[in-house]
Amino acid sequence: MPASVPDWRPRLVLASASPRRLALLQQIGIEPDALLPSDIDESPLKGERPKAVARRLAREKAERARAVLATRPELEGAFIVAADTVVARGSRILPKPEHVEEAAQCLRLLSGRGHRVYTGLAVIGPRGGLRERLVETRVSFKHLSRQDIEAYLASGEWRGKAGGYAVQGRAASFVTKLVGSHSSVVGLPLYETAAILTGEGYPLHAAWLNAGAPHG
């Protein structure tokens, strides 16, 4: 995080503790001024579809960060970026496993099949307006042998990842087809994020961000 921020640059808060989402923002030239992860219950509601879960949780994370900002005067007027990623086979939502057997079940379910990854995106602008997007990506896995699954479980990459895998890591070798947004599967759809931020007046031009004063 920068030690100080020029007064002319808008501040931005990432409502997440995910190192993957932070790295994706940095990839497009954005260094958040604060990380405000939201401790919310991510359990789906009864009968809630995967798309609806991703939308709702992204919105709840953004709103929770907005409430925290009310107690942080140094971040007054900051942009808030929040996201939530859901992996689903049909209407079945796969967990973010914390135990190895749960991760193994996810991998066995995905083996040799296609699935969908939904990422809800919520951005709150300095004036309080909420902008939302939902990005859907189709992913197909090769047939996973027992050795594939055991080696991946041993890597530990699956822990806490939606669907039990990280597409930016070793699981990239499992993917036979991906239709949609790779960055969305990682955790933050960059095209949609950039489009909303620029539409709300956030400067994404690297020279503008890194210079001592805004360019005309």
pLDDT tens digits along 105-140? 999 999 999 999 999 999 999 999 999 999 999 999
163 belongs to a structural domain:
yes
18 belongs to a structural domain:
yes
Residue 65, pLDDT above cutoff 60:
yes
Residue 93, pLDDT above cutoff 50:
yes
* pLDDT attached to residue 2: 46
Token output for 182: 């790779």
Q: How far is CA 6 from CA 16, 29, 109, 194, in A?
A: 23, 16, 49, 21
* pLDDT attached to residue 8: 63
216 belongs to a structural domain:
no
Judging by beta carbons within 10 Å of its beta carbon (0-12, 13-18, 19+), is residue 71 exposed, middle or buried?
A: exposed
Domain of residue 36, CATH code: 3.90.950.10
pTM of the model: 0.90
- What is the average pLDDT score of the chain? 91
200 belongs to a structural domain:
yes
Q: Which domain holds residue 180?
A: 12-210
Residue of 19 and 212 predicted with greater confidence: 19
CA distance 190 to 73: 28
5 belongs to a structural domain:
no
Token output for 140: 């197909």
Q: How many domains does the chain have?
A: 1
Q: Is 33 a catalytic residue?
A: no
* pLDDT attached to residue 203: 85
2 belongs to a structural domain:
no
Token output for 201: 């007046």
From the list 33, 39, 41, 84, the catalytic residue is: 84
Residue 148, pLDDT above cutoff 60:
yes
**The pairing of beta strand 92-93 with beta strand 79-89:** antiparallel
Q: How far is CA 4 from CA 7, 69, 106, 210, in A?
A: 9, 18, 43, 13
